[in-house]
Structure 1
Amino acid sequence: MLDILNKINGFLWGAPSLILLLGTGLFFTIILKGLQFKKLGYAFKLAFTKDKEDAAADGDVSNFKALMTSLAGMIGNGNIAGVATAVTLGGPGAIFWMWIAGLLGMVTKYAEALLAQVYRVKNEKGEYSSGPMYYIERGLGKRWKPLGIAFAIFAAFAALGTGNGVQANTIADVMDNSFHVTGWVTGVLLVLLTGLIIFGGLKRISNVAGVFVPIMAILYIGGSLIIIAMNYDKIIPAFGLIFQYAFTPVSAAGGFSGAIVSQAIQHGVSKGIFSNEAGLGTIALIAGNAKTTHPVKQALVAMTGTFIVTIIVCTMTGLVLVITGFWDPSGGLLSGVTHNPNLEGGALTSAAFGSTLGVTGEYIVSVSVVFFGFSTIIGWYVYGAKCFEYLFGVKYVAIYGILYLAATYIGSIADLSVIWAFADTTNALMIIPNLIGLLLLFKVVRRETQNYFANPIEKLHIAKKA
């Protein structure tokens, strides 16, 4: 089964899918005239300052808490282990292509969040529900509902796998290796903590994320910046390697097997998408709950999440690996320090931190893996529950919560190689219905954007059908 799933994933995550994802971002960049570059400063202002009008608007959580909840799902072990994998397989140039995926993904996220606000609905509990399944069904018409159902099914399964089981497994490994806590104990603790948070509803989840995510990000980014500052003389050469090997192959040397440009592109883009989730439609599952006077405002706030995850957090990991030479077992081109060629993923990033900060650096990564993984478990529950609600109704969401907690425990004690592969498959399948909906509704995205920026005084929005 694992071999079959790996072959399917090789196709689903191959060049056609990556081109489609980048192409969608490029398309929206063109029709919105580079909005993610021109309005980035304004977007951050909306995200991190209080707006009295937005606070009084209809919705369930603030713009900031909606952003933190989405970041809880995005800032995960892909930012640590995923970047390490991209750089060791694609060379330093993979970081450049990760940036490209992030910059184009920003406007894809913008479109997803905007449509989530336009087509959101209130459920039986009086809370808003949104996501690709709603803008597909309500924006394109009832005949497209099967496509929305397909997205909801794929996303609900992906949440159990990618967002939960594999994260719990990674946490359990770190707790065992770094703190000598056995897997079943970690599993019980995760189930108790996760249950306490997710059964408190969206507001409790967003409140936890609002405190948890900033602290978690500051810890990891702070440790990265210390390492970069201690190796300040290698910063410019590191960027030189990133740009050089984005367009030229890296020769095999020492323990590095070499990488051609296509490998740098493939690993950089794929891991960039894994980290920021642009095109998966996940941001649309939470953006509709935000209090805002206009869909464009929440869309701009959502866009900043991709910048934070890819351009800031992933770049920190990539720079540390290149500066310390840990992308190459022979020490890379900036460091003569060799290391164990069997190290990979999170263990490799931990070793890179430890090479400069000693045991403290290793513990920074270990603690970050635990907190990043736990935040992902919490954030992805929201995604999976929203999809389960769409499929079966709000009164059955508690059943999904029980399944989610079971997946948390199983993930802590099981070998998840097959679940990893299955989760990769469902992640890839989420992209297809979501991008179809986005591209067919591009006129709505363009119209709402033009209306907002043409009439800055007009804050109130009345949702219109395409």
Structure 2
Amino acid sequence: MLDFLNDLLWGKVLLVLLVAVGVGFTIASRFVQFRYFGRMFSILGASQAFKKDKHGHLSSFQALVLSVAGRVGGGNIAGVAVAITLGGPGAVFWMWVVGLMGMATSFLECTLAQTYKESEGDGTYRGGPAYYIVKGLGKQWTWLAGLYSVLLFVTFGFAFTALQSYSVATSFGDAFGVPVLYSGIALAMVVGLIIFGGIKRIANISEVLVPIMAGGYILITLLVLGLNIEKIPDVVTLIVKSAFGLEPALAGGMTAAFLYGLKRGLFSNEAGLGSAPNVAAVAYVPHPANQGIVQAFSVFIDTVIICSATAFLILLSGVYDPAAGAGAEGGIALTQSALADHVGEWGRTFVSLALLLFAFSTILYNYYLGENSLNFFSRNNQNLFNAFRIAIVLLVCWGATTDLGTVFGFADVTMGLLAVVNLIALIMLFKPGLRILKDFDSQIREGVEHPVFDAKKHPDMNLDPQSWEIEPEDLARIHQVLGNNETATTKD
């Protein structure tokens, strides 16, 4: 039954919905992910100034690294290898296409999460699909928001947290011979110290950890590219040709390349699942579209940069046999063997350590998704949050030592249902998403360097006015740039 449901959801329903939303919003928004690609960097630069406030706000950059912590995981190392093994090198091309379209989906869902976020009163915010479903579609859709929150809690809060713990413990055991129980206990202690500090501590840790783990992986890839620079044009040609079935010797042909590239791309970057909007909503930004643009960049980081890094490590190595197809060594073992072929046996250890960091950051991300889903049912219930934190610590220990096959067959189904709920909501919220983008576009056309969202101009959208109050010092900075004292709302 689980296999049937997974095949139905991931092989048919979700492929149609995810592609429809990605391509549909790309066209409707006039290719927003490309129009504002360069602006992503200026927004992140400006966010560092906002981060220095004394009011407890989290910056756009901190929200970005939180989402990257979740998007970047084992799928970027093992998942890409599986896609190439089963779909051939052409799967990489379709991963790129899906990533570029997924940037538009991420822009839509994260812009909506920002628009409908709610202030916590301590400088932080809450938001995500459950919030934009209720506030954007109306209270008659509360049941759908509740269903989404339950699915989010079960899938990310519990099941995938245990999976990441299992991945960390087994990978560490393979690399260094440490018993999984000891790894699980150590991991649980570190996770506990971080999550009991709340979202601010999680953001601070992620701000340091994520750039190190992603940067290190990219650097080793650049080293490999430098050592094999003369082979790069041939690999790119191989990817493009096999994507369109022009390499008949490759197993699977165009259909396999398309399907596995599509699946790996869609489910690696999580665009459309509704998970990233939960952390996108925590950012303190002057306009919702700012974080939509930044979160689109996180999809680019995940799929176009890091997944490509793994793909080139494999395709430039001497261990991948294009004609072997499904019978070839796949998953994490293929990536480890490929890097070892390039740099020596220490490459296997490096991949294990990279997987350790990727999975650890994902546990922190998964915890926050679970907490946010609980908050939807019982707002700011610290006793409930503390009970969940204790459960997570115990779950990390248990997951490190347990065979989780059946659990994650079930979690795949709940994650598929999670995506269906979110994608249906996004389709119904196309209009308000485009409305917010239009507000941003119009200010840019008027020459405004840093557009500011005025919630008072949208009284029909059921927004939280406190979420769009700008601190006086930040208001002064914006006024200095804009030269207009009437472009932003102020605190009383």
- TM above 0.5, yes or no, is yes
Match of 1:377 in 2: 363
Q: Output one character per residue of 1:101-136: Cα deviation in whole Å (capped at 9) or x when no partner.
A: 110110111111111111111347674110101100
Separation (CA, whole Å) in 2 of partners of 1:57 and 1:434: 35
TM-score (norm 2): 0.87
| Contact 1:95–1:315 (CA under 8 A) maintained in structure 2 | yes
The aligned amino acid for 2:202 is I
**Structure 1, gaps ≥5 residues long:** 333-339
Match of 2:116 in 1: 119
Q: Does residue 426 of the first structure (1) align with residue 414 of the second (2)?
A: yes
Match of 1:336 in 2: none
Q: Please tell me whether Structure 1 or Structure 2 has the larger radius of gyration of its CA atoms.
A: 2
TM-score (norm 1): 0.92
Match of 2:452 in 1: 459
The aligned amino acid for 1:60 is H
Q: Does residue 276 of the first structure (1) align with residue 276 of the second (2)?
A: no
Separation (CA, whole Å) in 2 of partners of 1:148 and 1:59: 28
Match of 1:295 in 2: 288
In the superposition, relative to structure 1, how do residues 54 and 441 fare at CA in structure 2: closer, same or farther (>3 Å)? farther
Q: CA deviation at 1:403?
A: 2.3
| Contact 1:91–1:327 (CA under 8 A) maintained in structure 2 | no
Q: How do residues 180-191 of structure 1 correspond to structure 2 at under 5 angstroms?
A: 180-191=177-188
Match of 2:437 in 1: 449
| Contact 1:124–1:394 (CA under 8 A) maintained in structure 2 | no
Q: Output one character per residue of 1:119-166: Cα deviation in whole Å (capped at 9) or x when no partner.
A: 111347674110101100111001111111111111111114553111
Q: Which moved more, 1:231-240 or 1:205-214?
A: 231-240
* Aligned residue-pair number: 452
Separation (CA, whole Å) in 1 of partners of 2:50 and 2:404: 47
| Contact 2:70–2:362 (CA under 8 A) maintained in structure 1 | yes
Q: Output one character per residue of 1:13-72: Cα deviation in whole Å (capped at 9) or x when no partner.
A: 013311210110111101110110111111122124446468669873100001011111
The aligned amino acid for 1:136 is I
Of 3, 6, 28, the residue aligned with 2:3 is 6
Match of 2:374 in 1: 388
The aligned amino acid for 1:165 is A
The aligned amino acid for 2:182 is V
In the superposition, relative to structure 1, how do residues 437 and 54 fare at CA in structure 2: closer, same or farther (>3 Å)? farther
Q: Does residue 227 of the first structure (1) align with residue 224 of the second (2)?
A: yes
Q: Does residue 47 of the first structure (1) align with residue 40 of the second (2)?
A: no
Separation (CA, whole Å) in 1 of partners of 2:354 and 2:229: 24
Q: Which moved more, 1:153-162 or 1:404-413?
A: 153-162
Of 172, 190, 196, the residue aligned with 1:193 is 190
Q: Does residue 135 of the first structure (1) align with residue 135 of the second (2)?
A: no
The SS at the match of 1:61 is coil
| Contact 1:117–1:288 (CA under 8 A) maintained in structure 2 | yes
| Contact 1:219–1:364 (CA under 8 A) maintained in structure 2 | no
| Contact 2:56–2:123 (CA under 8 A) maintained in structure 1 | no
Separation (CA, whole Å) in 1 of partners of 2:46 and 2:221: 26
Separation (CA, whole Å) in 1 of partners of 2:262 and 2:397: 32
Q: How do residues 268-417 of structure 1 correspond to structure 2 at under 5 angstroms?
A: 268-328=261-321, 343-395=329-381, 396-417=384-405
Q: CA deviation at 1:392?
A: 3.5
Separation (CA, whole Å) in 1 of partners of 2:122 and 2:333: 44
| Contact 1:295–1:461 (CA under 8 A) maintained in structure 2 | no
| Contact 1:248–1:261 (CA under 8 A) maintained in structure 2 | yes
Separation (CA, whole Å) in 2 of partners of 1:325 and 1:45: 41
In the superposition, relative to structure 1, how do residues 384 and 327 fare at CA in structure 2: closer, same or farther (>3 Å)? farther
The SS at the match of 1:13 is helix
Q: How much identity, in percent, do the aligned residues show?
A: 36
Of 429, 435, 438, the residue aligned with 2:426 is 438
**Structure 2, gaps ≥5 residues long:** 462-492
In the superposition, relative to structure 1, how do residues 132 and 55 fare at CA in structure 2: closer, same or farther (>3 Å)? farther
The SS at the match of 1:116 is helix
Q: CA deviation at 1:329?
A: 7.4
Q: CA deviation at 1:249?
A: 6.8
